[in-house]
A = this chain, B = another copy of it.
């Protein structure tokens, strides 16, 4: 669906205002970044770029859109005519999807005519905030599962159809192996997963007939839901009976799924029953209200779970369901000269980082596989040791530091020009692989799920100085 109208009214009000008061070709740069990580984590897994690039590249207004905007009776005919001709003239640079990104670092940066770049804000934030949120939550749960496969099962509890489908994509970026949602599976080439619901079992006179009927239809996919009546008294014994029949016919059963009750105790007891009956390879899948801390607690208790199916707590990131990414002006071209801009505020935390920037991941030359910090620099800087930097976190003590003996890898890449998209990775499992590698380079303490160590993000001394100058100038403007 086209998203040019998924835009807040005030974006159009401002664009019409700029059109009336400023040179139409005034250029501007906006950065997308966030300040706080969901679930008190230390980083976010960037996601959503593919959809952003598609939507911005395709940006236009239909005659119906223009008719609607006209009906609001607040836009000039000249502005509406301008919109009716508009097509994308913006440039986007961004972190590759799957890259771990820290507070205040640009996830993406959009540069183009001020009027047009302003009109992209709402839907760009919507996409990046949503997909990055779910990719991050997925990473957390997968980290807790220590390599056990996780199936994304949340479509029915997602916040609307897009949340189900783009959320499933983001879940794969964060490390899940499959999704139950066929819209996502077919659209993004993701393996589809799942077997039966309780309704199947209830549609037969008894549980055993239901399991037998399943085995008849899917002899090589005998994965049985064992908690419709009673897991240990009925479900597992009936599953074992059917497994024996299946094996007698030359097929090896897949396993069982437990979706209610005390998963840990039930899994331990079911494992023993399966093993005793000679089905040591039958897998146990757990589902029902799982999240990173529940998965960790089950595994800490030694619950013999082979796979997880995770629904609502992944697809909505329910423990922390908002990523508050923002879209802030970083520079403007005035009289043919780029001028860095800042937003100051009563809260120090809300002060923005001005200018056209690059984000570098810093590797220690003695441990080249280990990222030790990020540095945000102006694009006209080259990073050379010894490098004077300042902590970007306004709460940090020991703010100044000199970096030596490092290699700096630039992270922001060109993704879209007015001519069209650049080559960006669209294979969701290659993006997942990039996420695994890039997160793998971070310190272990940064990846801790509870109370992680804050990974340092620095500004170059030059950028920090620019920021301080602009804060002082803004104070002056405010008092003017």
Contacts and interface: CB of A to CB of B under 8 A. Distances in A.
Interface of A: 1, 3, 5-14, 16-18, 20-22, 26, 28, 30, 65, 68-69, 72, 74, 114, 118, 121-123, 125-127, 129-131, 133-134, 153, 155-167, 180-183, 185-186, 192-200, 202-203, 205-208, 213-214, 216-218, 221, 227-231, 233-234, 260-261, 312-313, 316-318, 321-325, 327-329, 332, 341-347, 350, 474-475, 477-480
B157 A480 contact: no
One complex includes copies of this chain to the number of: 2
A480 B208 contact: yes
A17 B200 contact: yes
Contacts of A162: 159-163
Contacts of A329: 199, 202-203
A142 B203 CA distance: 43
Given A159-B133, A231-B346, A192 B72 contact: yes
A213 B17 contact: yes
Given A161-B126, A163-B160, A321 B318 contact: yes
B322 A312 contact: yes
Contacts of A156: 8, 121-122, 125-126, 129, 325, 327
Contacts of A344: 228-229
A175 to B, nearest CB: 19
A10 B196 contact: yes
A164 B13 CA distance: 20
Contacts of A133: 159
A118 B159 contact: no
A17 to B, nearest CB: 5
Nearest to A229: B478
Given A478-B233, A479-B234, A3 B161 contact: yes
Contacts of A13: 194-196, 218, 221
A8 B316 contact: no
A313 B322 CA distance: 8
A126 B322 contact: no
Contacts of A21: 213, 216-217
The 10 closest A-B CB pairs, nearest first, are A229-B478, A160-B162, A10-B194, A125-B156, A234-B478, A162-B162, A8-B180, A159-B159, A321-B321, A9-B194
Nearest to A19: B217
Given A22-B203, A346-B260, A68 B182 contact: yes
Contact of A68 (B158, B186, B197, B350): B186
A203 B343 contact: no
Contacts of A125: 156-157
Nearest to A64: B186
Nearest to A10: B194
Given A10-B194, A159-B158, A479-B233, A183 B318 contact: no
13 contacts: A8-B180, A8-B181, A8-B182, A18-B203, A72-B192, A125-B156, A198-B343, A199-B329, A202-B341, A202-B343, A230-B478, A234-B478, A261-B346
A203 to B, nearest CB: 7
Nearest to A14: B200
Contacts of A26: 203
A197 B322 contact: no
B160 A347 contact: no
A301 B183 CA distance: 49
A357 to B, nearest CB: 17
Nearest to A160: B162
Given A122-B156, A156-B126, A202-B329, A6 B183 contact: yes
Contacts of A229: 344-345, 474-475, 477-478
A351 B260 CA distance: 12
B218 A74 contact: yes
A9 B230 contact: no
Contacts of A28: 203
B155 A159 contact: no
A332 B203 contact: yes
A351 to B, nearest CB: 11
Nearest to A221: B74
Given A199-B329, A213-B17, A157 B312 contact: no
Residue among A11, A197, A208 with most chain B CB within 10 A = A197
